[in-house]
Structures are given as structure tokens and as C-alpha cells.
Amino acid sequence: MTVLDQLAAVNPVRSENVAELTPQLPPLRIPPALRSARRSRIVFAGAAFGLSAVAVGSALAVTTNTFESLSSFLSSSAPQQARSAVAAITQSAVVTHRFGPPSAIELAVSANGPDGQVSVYRLQFAGGAVGSVMVDVSNATPHVDGATIGSQEEMTPASGLTVHNSFVGKPATSPVYFSGSVASNVVSVELLSADGETHPVDVANGEIIGWISPSASSAGYIDAELIAQNASGVTVGRVDACGSPTDVDFRAHSSTMPDDVSAACVLPPTPDH
């Protein structure tokens, strides 16, 4: 009896029994078309914020009724950085041209980051689109960051988590902040780093905001995972966060990574300048 015969003798599922597994097959899920997360990038100058504005198709439900008019917001007691960010969006030629100026705004989710408060504000545009802006109110120094404009499909339970944008104030010193959206059935999101440490990510009103600490990187690389769960504790969305502390790539959890972990989620080292 050869070793292959010995192995075949302990086959947990013999080939003649494979057809009997058909009833155990999970329902076939044909994923929706992939979203185009980053259509264009716009740079705003002279504003004290890091922002991402994602104009979203009108199918994305906005169920809260805490929107206020833009003029009211701009004259409110909201943090100056947030008002600056929204004002910059309003004045953006690209945003205005494609979507019109935002007509209303609400605070979606806020969190106390390592350097201070960070928030996601949700915007409504006159044409029915909605978007979001991530604001770091800890950064009082005038800072330039970008806005991401694109279209996006409605979040579904099958695609429970997506990250829209991220920014780093001071590379390798400041955290990498990120914001995104979750499906309506998501009740919690946690950040799982390669060393096994977990950190909760703030979730509210279908939006998330969180950060990856520079200390979470290993040998200069970040290899983490965002996991969204529903009320039953079932994972309904996963996003990989890979890269260097200055350039983290957030992407849908890959099922096609190579076996070698070190090659799966690591960028080549960037030479110091």
C-alpha cells in the first residue's frame, strides 16, 4: 500500500460522495458590479482639514432627519475646520459643476482620535446625490488634502463595508484616519492588526470613522483588516488595509492573495529621503 493509498483511505469526503453535498451548497451569490471608488481626486488649498467628499448615488438611503441647511451650518458653532471643509467643497468648481453645491449637511459619526476629534459629515446635493466629508478638527495648521469624487452603489448586506478615503497628517507620526460606509445591518466594526490587537471603529448612521496608529505598523508596514459584523456576530464585510504608514491601501478583502503572508499585504520599502 503506497502512501497515496494510505492518504486516500482517510479521505474525509470520498469522491463518490461529492454529489451528495449539493444540498449543503450555500446560495450562489453573484456580486454586484464593483464600485468605482476613486474617480478623480481634487486638491483644496489653504484649508485646515483632511477631507474626502464622495458624491453618492441617490439610491443610498439617508434615513436621519438631522440635516440642516448649508447656510445654517456655516454660521453655526460647528468646529471651524468642519465649516472650512464644507465651504471648500461648496466652492469647488468640479463639485459644483457635477453635482451642484451641497444644500444640506449633518454630522454622521464622530470619534475621539489620538490627536483629537475626527468626524464625518454627510452632505446632500441639490441634484439628489449625497456625499460625505471627513474632518480632522485636531489639525489647526493650514493643511492641504484631497477630495474624492465618484459614484457608488447602495451598500447591501452582501457588501457590508467599504472605505472611501484616508489621510495622514504627518506621515509616520500621525495616525492614518479613514472613513467609509457600512450596510444597514452592520452594528460593529473592528480593526484587527497583524499582531492580533483589535480596536473598535466608530459606527453611526451608516458611516464609520477610525484610525490606524503608527505603532500598529510592523517593520514599517501596516497589515490590518477591518471586520464588520451584524447583530448576530456574523461577519458581513471585510476590508484589508495594507501599505506603509504614509500610503495605506484600503481594498475589499482579497480572496486571491498568495499563501505567503509576507508577500500578501506588504509594500516594498520606500527609501528615505
Partner 1 sequence: MKTDEANFEHLYSAYGPAILAYALRRTNAATAQDVVGDTFAVAWRKRDQTPGEALPWLYGIARRVLANERRGSLRRLRLRDRLSYERVPQERETESGVLVALGTLSPREQETLLLTAWEGLTPTEAAVVMGCSANAFRIRLHRAKHKLEQALESTDGPQRGAHGAQEVMG
Could you give the 3-state DSSP secondary structure of residue 260? coil
Chain positions 243 to 272 lying near partner 1, rule: CB under 8 A, are 253-259, 261, 264
Beta bridge partners of 149: 40
Per rule CB under 8 A, count of chain residues that contact partner 1: 45
Distance of CA 241 to the CA centre of its chain: 9
Amino acid letter for position 119: S
Applying CB under 8 A, among 45, 93, 196, 273 the residue interacting with partner 1 is 196
Sheet holding 161-168, edge to edge: 161-168, 176-182, 207-212, 198-204, 186-193, 222-230, 235-244, 247-252
DSSP 21: G
Applying CB under 8 A, among 87, 187, 192, 267 the residue interacting with partner 1 is 192
Amino acid letter for position 118: V
Q: Which stretch binds partner 1 (CB under 8 A): 13-21, 86-94, 104-112, 213-221?
A: 13-21
Applying CB under 8 A, among 64, 144, 171, 195 the residue interacting with partner 1 is 195
Chain positions 219 to 248 lying near partner 1, rule: CB under 8 A, are 225, 238
Q: CA nearest 253: which of 230, 228, 219?
A: 228
Of residues 87 and 192, the one with the C-beta less far from partner 1 = 192
Does 30 sit near partner 1 (CB under 8 A)? Answer: yes
Q: Which stretch binds partner 1 (CB under 8 A): 144-152, 177-185, 188-196, 243-251?
A: 188-196
Question: What is the helix (H) or strand (E) element at residue 7, kind and residue range?
Answer: helix 3-9
Amino acid letter for position 262: S
Could you give the 3-state DSSP secondary structure of residue 25? coil
Q: CA nearest 165: which of 247, 225, 86?
A: 247
Does 141 sit near partner 1 (CB under 8 A)? Answer: no
Dist CA 222 CA 267 (whole Å): 9
Dist CA 55 CA 170 (whole Å): 27
Q: Which stretch binds partner 1 (CB under 8 A): 42-50, 58-66, 105-113, 192-200?
A: 192-200
Dist CA 95 CA 22 (whole Å): 51
Q: Which stretch binds partner 1 (CB under 8 A): 40-48, 108-116, 120-128, 194-202?
A: 194-202
Does 74 sit near partner 1 (CB under 8 A)? Answer: no
Applying CB under 8 A, among 42, 74, 87, 194 the residue interacting with partner 1 is 194
CB of 148 to partner 1, least distance (A): 23
Of residues 90 and 185, the one with the C-beta less far from partner 1 = 185
Question: What is the helix (H) or strand (E) element at residue 72, kind and residue range?
Answer: helix 70-74
CB of 264 to partner 1, least distance (A): 7
CB of 194 to partner 1, least distance (A): 6
Residues binding partner 1 (CB under 8 A)? 2-13, 15, 17-22, 24-26, 28-31, 34, 192-198, 225, 238, 253-259, 261, 264
